[in-house]
Structure formats: C-alpha cells, structure tokens
Amino acid sequence: MSRAFWHDQAVIVTGGAGFLGRHVVEALKARSAGRIIVPRRADYDLRQQEAVARLYADHPDATLVIHLAANVGGIGINREHPGLFFYENLMMGTLMLEYARRARVDKFVGIGTVCSYPKFAPVPFNEADLWAGYPEETNAPYGLAKKMLLVQSQAYRQEYGYNAVHLLPVNLYGPRDKFDLKSSHVIPAVIRKMVDAQESGAPHVTLFGDGSPTREFLFVRDAAEGILLAAERYNGAEPVNLGSAFEISIRDLVEIIAEEVGFSGALRWDTSKPNGQPRRKLDVSRAEREFGFVARTDFRAGLRETIRWYRAERRTARAAAERV
C-alpha cells in the first residue's frame, strides 16, 4: 500500500457506519488517509437529489468516493421488499455517481454485488458472463439495480472520461454483521440460530431450503482490503470480482457452524423455502492481476472470529439489560 497516495485523499465513504463500511473506515485510518467523510442518513438521505448535491457541496475537497451504502439482506427480506430494494439502491447509486461527476471528484469506486450475475452463469463466474442471462429471481431486483451502477460508470467513462470503477464482491461475513433472523444473510442467520438453540437447549434448528446450493464467502476485512487496493491501483472500465475462490455447500456450512458453536441437536431442512441461486463461485483472477488482491483469511478462522464476536455482543447486551 502507498501511504503517500492515501495521505492526500479526502474520502467519502457512503455506508461507512455499516457492516462493511466500518471495516473500510478502519482500513483507511490504518493507511493514514487525509480525511474520511462518513455521511449519516440523518444528515444526508442519499435517495434524495437535494441531499446528495448538498453532501458534495459540504465537502468540496473530496477526491474519492467509495459507495458502499445499500439496502440489502438475505433471501427472505429480498422477497418481501423487491420494489423497495430496487428503487433505493438504484437511486443511491445513480445520484452519488452523477453528483460526484458534477463535483469533479477524482474517482468513484462503486460496490456492486454477486447477485447481479445470471442465475445459471458458468462456474466460476467470470466478469465476461455478467450479461449472459437473468439473475436469480429472489434477488434480481436488488442485483439489477446495483448492475445499473456498472452501466452508468461505463457510460460516464465513455462520454465524460470520468474515472468510475465497479467491484463485485461475493457474500461477505465477519464481525459486526447483522444477526437479525428476518433480514440477515446466511452465515449470521445460521450462527444466531445455533447459538440460540444451544443456549435454550432446543433439540433442533430449522434451516431454509435443502442445503444443496453452494456459496463462496469473503471475510469482511479481506473485502475492505480489496476495495482499497482497487481504489488506489485500478482505473479500468471493466468490473472486477472480489472473492476468496473457496466454494462450500450450504449443508456443509451449517454443519461447520454447528460444530464451531457446539450445537449437537438435529438439523432440519425446510424445503418449502427457496434455495436461491444453485451455485456461486467467482473467478478472482482479474483482481489479482489488476491490483494484487488475494483473500488471506482461512474460512474456519474467520467463522470462529465471527462467532466469538457475536457471543461477546450477546453478553454485552445482557449485561446492559440487567443494569436497567
């Protein structure tokens, strides 16, 4: 990494108070970034044109935008709010990039999603196959809204010569994730179910689908590192996958989490619930070639750290409740 590069940057990090955003902000601080701007929703509603214009007017020295803000969740919440997810993600991305261009911000790093890939894309997913079909139906509105940020980035590069790049991270996990059973992704949801069942003495837990789909997961600190490497070193028009190149079935994932949590009860699969996309595994060669990113965190080690963090948060919450 180049500390000289970061020392001169004033970086707007949308979603900087969220799961991935906090890790990106910490990584920016470790690089001694010149200034880090984290817009809060109470001050700047990024779905509103006036608020986005005001954000850039309030920070005229901004040189780089890392657009992480998103309305996102697991299969259940995607099925419940497809319209909301489409609209809010589309508006945030469109407005943030347009006004970055108007404000002459040097560079815009847009964060897309693996959900933009076709449902039956060849495995491993290569960036060239991004347009080879329609996304998996349960998260297509979200995936397509984020995909429009790629289209906008490439159009702005073509017409205005604007330096906007687009990254496609796979499913993330790690400390500070959202462990809400209704809206969280698979790893925090399963950890929450297992810990709840272990502490209550429940004889079984129930999981979505049949466990056959496969997924690739990227530890959140690795994702933050990949984003900042791209921000520093990558200036190309083509999207770039960010992943770990490690694929695992949901069934195997659940069994590993049960083992790490110490839950020994039965695992029941609710096959009335959707499986989602059959397979997800990225071709990550472009990221290594273009800006030297390779994921470093061992999957089990990352899970253990995530579980430890969640248990500690539960203890803290209980202690606070007892003091009230």
Domain ranges, ordered by start, for the chain: 3-323
CB 121 within 8 A of CB 170: no
Query: Cα–Cα distance between 149 and 281 in angstroms, integer?
Result: 22
What does the DSSP assignment read for 132-195?
SSPBPGGGHHHHHHHHHHHHHHHHHHHHH---EEEEEE-EEE-TT----TTT--HHHHHHHHHH
The predicted structure's pLDDT at residue 192: 96
Q: What φ, ψ does residue 158 adopt, rounded to 5°? A: -70, -45
Which residues are catalytic, by number?
142
CATH T-level fold of 3-323: Rossmann fold (3.40.50)
Whether the upstream peptide bond of residue 135 has omega within 30° of 0, thus cis, is: no
The predicted structure's pLDDT at residue 182: 77
Q: Which residue has the tokens 């409740």?
A: 321
The predicted structure's pLDDT at residue 48: 98
Q: Which amino acid is at 140?
A: A
Long-range Cβ contact pairs of 36-42 (< 8 A, separation 24 or more): 36/11, 37/10, 37/11, 37/12, 37/13, 37/62, 38/13, 39/12, 39/14
One digit per residue, the tens of pLDDT, for the chain of length 324 reads 567 899 999 999 999 999 999 999 999 999 999 999 999 999 999 999 999 999 999 999 999 999 999 988 777 777 888 999 999 999 999 999 999 999 999 999 999 999 999 999 999 999 999 999 999 998 899 999 999 999 999 999 999 999 999 999 999 999 999 998 877 889 999 999 999 999 999 999 999 899 999 999 999 999 999 999 999 999 999 999 999 999 999 999 999 999 999 999 999 999 998 888 889 999 999 999 999 999 999 999 999 999 999 999 999 989 988 887
Q: Which residue has the tokens 């919440």?
A: 77
Q: Alpha carbon of 258 to those of 169, 179, 186, 211: distances in Å?
A: 26, 16, 13, 14
Q: What φ, ψ does residue 200 adopt, rounded to 5°? A: -90, -10
Please, how many CA atoms are within 13 Å of residue 218, restricted to the half-sphere of its CB? 28
In three-state secondary structure terms, 276 is coil
